[in-house]
Amino acid sequence: MIPDMPRPQQLTFSLPVAENRTRGDFFVAPSNALALQMVENWRDWPSGRLLLTGPEGAGKSHLADIWQAESGALALGPEALAGADIPALAARPVLIDDADRLAGDRALEEALFHLHNALAARGQGLLLTARTPPRDWPLILPDLASRLASMPACRLEAPDQALLGAVLVKLFADRQLVASPSTIAYLTQRMERSLAAATRIVAEMDRIALAEKREIGRRLAARVLEALDKDRKPGA
């Protein structure tokens, strides 16, 4: 008699998410069309500079990635300017994402001021992204505030329902998941109008579906939306 063999244990794996942020993955909508046009025409920027502003998840970083790929720019976080070799940095175009984070730090502000001037002297491009325009930053240096105020700027607005739907489909596809049109419609009609919110929703639906072996559908969407809504409320 053949003894009973133990059943193999079923394992679940969290696969790496391949988030693509190329030009072909960028969805054009009224909220971002002008900004995309500006980025694509970067060689025509006045003085080679541009500031992109807009709410979290509006697509600023995606556009910055597109510009970096086209221009060969060096991408930096604001903190990387601390003690940096400014002349060396200015040898190529520079991208600084979330540039408003340096406001209030005198050393970082001075570094950006000198980098701005060095890039201009060499004819190299500079792209900054931020949530708000420089007039709303707690800047210390008047000279830097003046430089930033003179930069050409373009604002991305919150996405509309059609753009949210397209982004949700892409985010699910990045995770090798498929959501039905009714599920996408359910989400876009009820979720926060933010690409950042779309990212959080898809990640949470993927996590729960994997852990509980649930279907990516409206019931799971409703559960995740309810949980995220509670998290946003004070005292929840």
Q: What is the pLDDT of residues 110-121, one digit of tens each?
A: 999 999 999 999
The mean pLDDT value of the chain amounts to 87
Q: Which two tokens stand for residue 19?
A: 């988030």
Q: Where are the domains of the chain?
A: 29-155, 161-229
Contact 236, 230 (CB under 8 A): yes
CA distances from 221 to 77, 164, 181, 200, 229 (A): 34, 15, 12, 12, 12
Domain 161-229 has CATH 1.20.1070: no
Average pLDDT score over residue span 129-135: 95
Phi, psi of 126 (to 5 degrees): -140, 125
pLDDT digits (tens, 9 = 90+) for 141-197: 999 999 999 999 999 988 888 889 998 999 999 999 999 999 999 999 999 888 888
The pLDDT of residue 158: 82
pTM above 0.85, yes or no: no
Q: What percent of the chain has pLDDT over 90?
A: 69
Position 30 pLDDT exceeds 90: no
DSSP letter (8 states) at residue 122: H
Q: Which CATH superfamily is domain 29-155 in?
A: P-loop containing nucleotide triphosphate hydrolases (3.40.50.300)
DSSP conformation letters of 147-186: HHHTS-EEEPPPP-HHHHHHHHHHHHHHTT----HHHHHH
Contact 226, 208 (CB under 8 A): no
